[in-house]
Chains A and B, each alone.
Chain A
Amino acid sequence: MPPLLEVRNLRKSFRVNDPLGKSSGRLVAVDDLSLALEAGETLGLVGESGCGKSTTGKLIMQLLKADRGEVLFSGVDLAQLPPRQMRPYRRQLQIIFQDPFSSLNPRMTVGAILSEPLLIHNLCRGRKVRERVIELLEKVGLSADHEHRYPHEFSGGQRQRVGIARALAVEPQLIIADEPVSALDLSVQAQILNLLQQVQREHDLSYLFIAHDLAVIEHVSDRVAVMYLGRIVELTTADELYRNPRHPYTEALLNAIPVPDPEQPRPKPLTGEVPSPVNPPGGCTFHPRCPYAQSLCRTEAPPLNPCGDKHLTACHFSDQVGRYLLRKYSA
């Protein structure tokens, strides 16, 4: 049986214009990206701003057209489907956005927002629609009397609950959650993460969970892919990733997380900043910031290769990585 979602060699580039409108080059947002996701699984996609993680989500949703590569959903290549035939798959694939303020139509009541997908996909009609809307509201921790309110009457956390209810309305198999908690306060973030895990168990959902916060990703994911400048640099199980990172960028991310424990060592900064994706460094794109870099890294890009059981890394010297890891996490 094929995996629920399989992405093969996906690539997407954008034309970049200078301020006068002249084309000044191409930005490769996602390059040669492959991943697979099983039913009921959560795959985390982590990286810093501009690394291509949101573009990947949009490419899978077919909200953006890829330059090349395949997006296989239950074995069917979505990238090849004409819009009409794509429609039944849109029901299977839903997305939750980061900003609960701009992803809900301010002129529609919550009831209208939640019934729209039900009507579009002909899932129910008449009195049944309202029953289903109320059922959805209750499932995400809101109540029936919220039905007639508008998005502005809700707090950020409640709006994100509406976003989740809208995604669940069509009973999808896969939800792409693009930074679903990064706009929320800490106490609300925990509520939403718990809710996402609860509905996953109830509906046997798969998640592609996109976030920049490694601790959040590690908490919700079974496996994690780390992205840097459009490529996956490491892919392994969530446990293995923080106990035994095998890519220097993953190690640097782990070192940079501020931990709420004064006994722990101070985060150790990485030198330099993320290079411009319009003009990425040659060889391994991480080499200018990498403490392990040698001359080979400047000339040759390392492929994503297995380095252990269910563990892929794109580093020439992955066997040395871990030397600079600040904190040791025990089992």
Chain B
Amino acid sequence: MPARLTVENLSSYFFTRAGLVKAVDDVSFRIAGGETLALVGESGCGKSMTALSLLRLLPEPGRIVGGEIRLDGKDLLRLPQIEMRRIRGNQISMIFQEPMTSLNPVLRVGDQIAEVLRLHQGDSPQQALEQAAELLLQVGISDPGRRLRDYPHQLSGGQRQRVMIAMALACDPQLLIADEPTTALDVTVQAQIMDLLAGLKEERRMATLLITHDLGIVASNADRVAVMYAGQIVETGSVPQLFDNPLHPYTQGLLDCIPRLGQKEALAAISGQLPNLRLHQDGCLFIDRCPGPCTPCGNQMPQLEELESGHWVRCWRY
């Protein structure tokens, strides 16, 4: 299957007063149409900064310092700003974690969805509102005619997230970035939203980049996974490869420290914490937390190696 999105050797650095932070460090991945790639990692690992780099919306003092981002063959990093604006919200859409802060509190939800359609598709106000109602119906909101006139605060968390999804889908994007789309929601509502996203992806053949810290969500919603640690991808593979045969000690640690129903033994916690990204070390970034570091780990950074078809890992053990 041809890749819709290809990211090669993407690096985004933050030039802070306290020093250089490599938030995204030589990250490469590809996503085909209709495919979901999950980007997994803990807070501060660079998964959200990778997503914002794709949109070229990195906050100051961050900058993309190298690499290539190709969407259907077009290199996004070479586009002038004005063309990039036409792509955001149109060919690439994003759903954020907190629907309350990403919707405008003083605009009716109908007008917010319609704005996207008028801007990118040149719809008339009337056309745009009609299409907004149609979109709300598609994302499972009943009585869309009335909901269009509601303000965000009148909706529940789950409904707000549905509105966000309706906005993201308004222009039929080639790539949907879902950044922790259900983290702020209750577990029964989370299941509803993930079901909705799965159905829409099937219908529209979008490429989806699903950013999450929850390996449970990954197992039931993604086709492939990339595990990030301290700005780098440390392991990537298909969902069955990664869950049945995790290779990187960090991936193994993450899978072991999840409490599972029916397990009463003490959890196998990963010791220590994330390294300070301002102190650049030569060797493997996971070395301080690794249960079995070997000789080269301390002074040489391991590279991603393909150990079986499509299953890559960054570790000196292999």
- Select from chain B the residue with minimum beta-carbon distance to A241: B261
A270 part of interface (Cβ distance < 8 Å): yes
Give the CA-CA distance A252 to B188 in the complex, in Å.
7
Determine whether the beta carbon of B262 is less than 8 Å from that of A242: yes
Give the CA-CA distance A212 to B214 in the complex, in Å.
15
- Interface of chain A residues 277 through 329 with chain B (CB within 8 A): 329
Could you say which of B191, B268, B273 contacts A188, with CB atoms under 8 Å apart?
B273
A80 part of interface (Cβ distance < 8 Å): no
Determine whether the beta carbon of A329 is less than 8 Å from that of B188: no
- Select from chain B the residue with minimum beta-carbon distance to A155: B273
Give the CA-CA distance A256 to B100 in the complex, in Å.
23
* Chain B interface size, under 10 / 10 to 19 / 20 to 34 / 35 or more: 35 or more
Least Cβ distance of B61 to chain A in Å? Answer: 21
Stretch at the interface among B19-27, B216-224, B295-303: B216-224
Q: Which residues of B contact A269 (CB under 8 A)?
A: 188, 191-192, 195
Q: Which residues of A contact B192 (CB under 8 A)?
A: 269-270
Determine whether the beta carbon of B269 is less than 8 Å from that of A191: yes
Determine whether the beta carbon of A253 is less than 8 Å from that of B273: no
Q: Which residues of A contact B269 (CB under 8 A)?
A: 187-188, 190-191, 194
| Contact A215/B261 with A49-B186, A186-B254, A256-B190 known, Cβ cut-off 8 Å | yes
> What per-residue 1/0 map shows which CB atoms of B201-222 lie under 8 Å from chain A?
0000000000001111111110
Determine whether the beta carbon of B187 is less than 8 Å from that of A212: yes
Q: Which residues of B contact A260 (CB under 8 A)?
A: 215-216, 218-219, 243, 255, 258, 260
Determine whether the beta carbon of A262 is less than 8 Å from that of B243: yes
| Contact A190/B270 with A267-B220, A273-B156 known, Cβ cut-off 8 Å | yes
| Contact A218/B188 with A193-B267, A258-B216 known, Cβ cut-off 8 Å | no
- Interface of chain A residues 199 through 241 with chain B (CB within 8 A): 212-216, 218-219, 239
Determine whether the beta carbon of A219 is less than 8 Å from that of B264: yes
B253 part of interface (Cβ distance < 8 Å): yes
B287 part of interface (Cβ distance < 8 Å): no
Q: Which residues of A contact B240 (CB under 8 A)?
A: 262
Q: Which residues of B contact A261 (CB under 8 A)?
A: 219, 243
Q: Which residues of B contact A243 (CB under 8 A)?
A: 262
Could you say which of B42, B159, B191, B216 contacts A187, with CB atoms under 8 Å apart?
B42
Give the CA-CA distance A214 to B220 in the complex, in Å.
18
Determine whether the beta carbon of B219 is less than 8 Å from that of A329: no
Determine whether the beta carbon of B191 is less than 8 Å from that of A256: yes
Least Cβ distance of B37 to chain A in Å? Answer: 15
Give the CA-CA distance A193 to B266 in the complex, in Å.
9
Give the CA-CA distance A52 to B239 in the complex, in Å.
37
Q: Which residues of A contact B268 (CB under 8 A)?
A: 190
| Contact A274/B186 with A187-B269, A193-B267, A215-B260 known, Cβ cut-off 8 Å | yes
Determine whether the beta carbon of B214 is less than 8 Å from that of A258: yes
Q: Which residues of B contact A257 (CB under 8 A)?
A: 187, 216, 261
Determine whether the beta carbon of A273 is less than 8 Å from that of B158: yes
| Contact A242/B261 with A260-B216, A273-B158 known, Cβ cut-off 8 Å | yes
A185 part of interface (Cβ distance < 8 Å): yes
A266 part of interface (Cβ distance < 8 Å): yes
| Contact A256/B258 with A188-B273, A194-B266, A219-B264 known, Cβ cut-off 8 Å | no
Determine whether the beta carbon of A190 is less than 8 Å from that of B267: yes
Q: Which residues of A contact B309 (CB under 8 A)?
A: none
Determine whether the beta carbon of A215 is less than 8 Å from that of B258: yes
A17 part of interface (Cβ distance < 8 Å): no
| Contact A197/B266 with A257-B187, A270-B188 known, Cβ cut-off 8 Å | yes
Could you say which of B186, B191, B239, B271 contacts A212, with CB atoms under 8 Å apart?
B186
Give the CA-CA distance A127 to B257 in the complex, in Å.
40
- Select from chain B the residue with minimum beta-carbon distance to A254: B261
Determine whether the beta carbon of A186 is less than 8 Å from that of B220: no
Determine whether the beta carbon of B273 is less than 8 Å from that of A215: no
- In the A-B complex, the 10 residue pairs with the smallest Cβ-Cβ separation, listed nearest first, are A258-B216, A190-B257, A190-B269, A185-B42, A219-B259, A187-B270, A48-B186, A190-B267, A269-B191, A269-B192
Additional A-B contacts beyond A185-B43, A270-B188 (18; CB < 8 A): A48-B188, A158-B273, A187-B253, A188-B42, A188-B273, A190-B270, A194-B267, A215-B258, A215-B260, A218-B262, A239-B262, A254-B261, A255-B191, A258-B190, A266-B195, A269-B188, A269-B192, A273-B156
